[in-house]
Amino acid sequence: MTNEIGNDIKAAYIEVGTSYDVLRDSVVGSGEYLLYELNAQVTKPFIREYFLDASLPYDTSGEAGDVLRFRDGSCFLLMNKTPFEVENIAVEYSAVLYKANVSGELLRPSGEVWNSQYQKVPAYEQIKTNCYALLTESLFRYELSEQDFGNLLVLKDELYIPKRYGIQINDRYSPVSGEYYKVSTVKTRGFPGVDIAILEEDTR
C-alpha cells in the first residue's frame, strides 16, 4: 500500500524545505528534506540558538541519536521523533533537534607511559573521531517548554552526545578547539539515542 499522504507531504518538504544528510559512522541518508522552526521560547537566547522543532518525512532514514547535517554545513542531533499517523500509517514525524556546537575526539585511558621528563603519565586510546555533540557552558540555567523535557538546571558542563559513541566515565573528550574534558558522570536514560555526559576540566 502506497503512502499517498506521506508522499504528498514529502513533496512539499522538497519544494520549500531544507535538505539534510543523516550521519552515523558514515552518511546513511542523503538528500532528504525537512521543515523546521525556532523553539517557541524565543525570548531565551540559548534555546533560540540551539533548539529546533522539526518535521521529517515519513520515510526518513534518521533515528534518535543520529546527526543531521544541513546543506549549510551545520549539524544537529536528532533527539527524538514522533509519528503523526493517518489511519494508523505514519505520514510524517515531528522531532526536536539540538544543534551540535562541537565536534571532537573521544579518548579512553589505556594505562600509563613515560614522558620526556621520565614521569609516568596517562595513555589514551582513541575511541572515535568526529564526535558531534552539544556542549553547554557551566552554570548556564535554561528552561525548556513543557512539551519538551521540563525544567533543567545545568550546574556543570554537559555534553549531549549520540549514545552509539559509547561514552564512559573517565573518558576524555577533546573538541577541535583544543580543550580537554574528563567525563565524571554519564546519564543514559534521558533520551532514547543520546547520552548526557557531565564534564569537568581534565588535568590528568
Per-position DSSP letters for 5-21, written without gaps between them: HHHHHHHHHHHHSEEEE
Asked if residues 75 and 69 have their Cβ atoms less than 8 Å apart, the reply is yes
Residue showing cell 544528510: 21
Sequence ranges of the chain with CATH classification 2.40.10.370? 102-201
Please say whether the structural domain 4-99 has been given the CATH code 2.50.20. Answer: no
Relative to beta strand 67-70, strand 27-38 is unpaired
Superfamily of domain 102-201: Protein of unknown function DUF3599 (2.40.10.370)
Beta bridge mates, 51: 98
Q: What is the pTM of this model?
A: 0.85
Predicted confidence (pLDDT) per residue in 158-173, tens digit:
999 999 999 999 999 9
Residue 168 in contact with residue 186, Cβ under 8 Å?
yes
pLDDT at 79 over 70: yes
CA distance 27 to 125: 25
What proportion of the chain, given as a percentage, has pLDDT over 90? 67
Cα separation of 159 and 101, whole Å? 10
Question: Taking the alpha carbons of 154, 190, 187, 125 in that order, is the dihedral positive or negative?
Answer: negative
Residue 21: other Cβ atoms inside 10 A: 19
Mean pLDDT is lowest, of 62-76, 104-118, 126-140, 174-188, for 126-140
What confidence tens digit (pLDDT) does each residue in 100-153 have?
999 999 999 999 898 888 888 889 999 999 999 999 875 344 444 444 444 444
First and final CA of the chain: distance in angstroms?
59
As given in the structure block, the three cell numbers for residue 188 are 543514559
Q: What is the DSSP letter of 170?
A: T
Q: Give the integer Cα–Cα distance in Å for 167 and 81.
A: 23
d(C-alpha 127, C-alpha 109), whole Å? 10
Q: Is the pLDDT of residue 154 over 50?
A: no
